[in-house]
Structure formats: structure tokens, C-alpha cells
Amino acid sequence: MLLSIVSGLNESKSNGKDVIKKFSSLCQLLKSLNYDGIELSLLEPEKIDVNKIIEIKDSYEMEIPALGTGSTFIRFGYSFGDTQESIRIKAIERIEKYIEFARETQSKVIIGLIRGRYKYDSSPQKERLNIISSLKECCWLAENSNVQLLFEPINRFEIDSYNTISQSVELIEEIGSNNLKLLVDSFHTYLEEDTANIWDYLKEIAHNVGHIHLADTTRRAPGSGHFDFKTFLNIFKDLGYAEFFSVETIMNPSFEVIAKNSAKYLRTIL
């Protein structure tokens, strides 16, 4: 089981030395807890000395399995579905920065919140077409850089499009890019999927999955709620899934406590 956990580096508000120091400290901590990687949630990856990051991760024999891009929408308001072409272009340009960073670090790039929320006075159908068009352009960029994109179904309370796994699989098949895979998140799965049928369906589409996020029903550490992680994880394990499982939760009471408890629980049940 390849295990990672999500963390930011605060690169937009810190100087370069502080960013590198934080990354080094994270690698040191996570290595001691038997993690294999650290998933980075970034806002401006171009501000980070990628060569230093590579040097540090390699020294700890750690990987950066994926890059989170959601802060692009949260902080900048750029999204794939926006009715303004200029905003969509900015969103694609931001993804290109992530792709450039990912190419160097051999990471994947997540497409989640960056697809945006529907505006009250717009057409959902038009915004979906905008999302598809923007995603196709990003897939072209990813293909040219040999980087894999990960499309994440997100629950209806956070986003308006592609909330379920089946909707997302259909989109991936429509796009038809070998560089676009599915990201399955246990928390969003719990909120959106039919618990009576989801296990069999996951077996059917497991070959489409390139990354997995783990959070319990409370969106806290795995094992703190009542999500059936043993069944969930074993589905992928039994089908030969060899990619990362990445803990993405509310970091309360602290990152250190969540990292320690999550690793212990997940390693125990498998």
C-alpha cells in the first residue's frame, strides 16, 4: 500500500527558504511514520524551487504522487466552467503551471474544484460544455508533457458538476485521453453514492482509477467515522491497484496527530 497525505507549503505567503524548510520537515516526519509520499496542495507552484524539492524528496525516498489545484478557484476565482472566456483561459494557464511542476516531480495533477460552481444567471448546460472544452485543452497540455490528470467527483454541496463517479467516468470516456484518469475520494463516495451498489461498481471501474483520497464520513481521519475502509481498500488491492492512497482530511487536532493516527489505522486494517 503506497500511502501519502495532503499538505500545503504556503508558497504564496512564505519566502523560498521557508517553503523548502517546511517541505523538508514534512518529509522527515512522514518518513518516520512509514509514509511513501506527500501530496501537495499548491496555489502558485511556479514560486517553488522545484530542483530543491526533488533533491529533498529523493533524499528521503519520498514521492509527490499528486498536486492539488482547488485553491486556484478558491483564492483566484478561476474555473473551467466560467461564462467569461478570459476566466477560463486563466484557469487553463494556472493548470499549465501545475503541469510544468508535475513534469519535473513526476506527479499527477488533480482536476477538482477548479471546474467551478454554476452562476445563478447562467446555463448549466453551457457551463458543462465550457468544462469539457477546458478539460480537453488541459489534456492536450498534459499529453505534451507526459503528465497524468486526475478528475475528481466532488459532492453536490461543494460543486455543481460531475458529483458522482459514474458521471465522471462518462466524462473521462468522452474526453478519450490516455492522460486522464479518475480520482476516487472516500468522503465524496459516502455522500453521493448508493451504498447498496457502490462496491460492485467500484470493481467495474477500478481500471480507470489513478489516485485515491481517504477521509472518513466526518471528513476526519480514517477510522474516526463509520466508512467501511476495509472493504473499500481491499477492492482496489485485490484488483492490483498500484497507485497511491492519500489521506485528505480536516487536520484537527493537528497535522502530526492525523498523520500518525491515519497511518496506524490504515496499515492495521490491510
Strand partners, 151: 111, 182
Catalytic residue set: 152, 248
For 63, 112, 216, 260, the CA distances from 35, given in Å and listed in that order, are 9, 24, 19, 10
In 3D space, the residue among 181, 184, 157, 175 whose CA is nearest the CA of residue 245 turns out to be 184
Tell me if the bond preceding 222 is cis, omega within 30° of 0: no
Give dist(CA 159, CA 34) in Å, integer. Answer: 34
Give dist(CA 203, CA 101) in Å, integer. Answer: 32
